[in-house]
């Protein structure tokens, strides 16, 4: 089945220790997104890739970086996690930009100690 996969599902890191979250998709969608969602809040878009074209949201901290080495994979790097970065990180894909449906992976729950 075509799907969006995220690994790991749960990640525990220490304050300041870099962490990388991964996302892969078999939908062959052009666009991949990373969202951050904290408890009882709406998902907040961090950035997206349209193919290899990277687009950063204006209020995304520099601490968050992303890489998309190919169509199928996208990574979220948190260079120095703080306690406030503990959240669910959601990867989503869409066929194109501009109103197309977005499909989410299962998410990675990040805990920062």
**Which spans of this chain sit near another protein (rule: CB under 8 A)?**
40-43, 45, 88, 90, 97-107, 109
81 or 107: CB nearest another protein: 107
Shortest Å, Cβ 1 to another protein: 14
The 3-state DSSP class for residue 84 equals helix
69 or 99: CB nearest another protein: 99
The 3-state DSSP class for residue 83 equals helix
Q: How many angstroms separate the CA atoms of 5 and 80, rounded?
A: 24
44 or 79: CB nearest another protein: 44
Shortest Å, Cβ 101 to another protein: 6
Shortest Å, Cβ 5 to another protein: 12
Q: What b-and-e string marks burial along 41-71, b requiring 16 or more CB atoms within 10 Å of the CB? A: eebebbbbbeeeeeeeeeebeeebbbebeeb
């Amino acid at each position: 089945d075509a799907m969006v996969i995220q690994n790991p599902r749960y990640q525990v890191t220490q304050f300041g220790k870099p962490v990388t979250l991964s996302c892969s998709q078999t939908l062959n969608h052009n666009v991949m997104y990373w969202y951050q969602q904290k408890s009882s809040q709406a998902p907040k878009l961090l950035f997206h890739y349209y193919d290899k074209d990277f687009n950063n949201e204006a209020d995304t901290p520099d601490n968050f970086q992303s890489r998309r080495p190919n169509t199928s994979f996208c990574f979220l790097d948190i260079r120095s996690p703080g306690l406030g970065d503990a959240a669910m990180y959601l990867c989503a894909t869409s066929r194109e930009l501009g109103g197309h449906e977005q499909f989410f992976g299962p998410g990675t729950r990040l805990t920062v100690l």
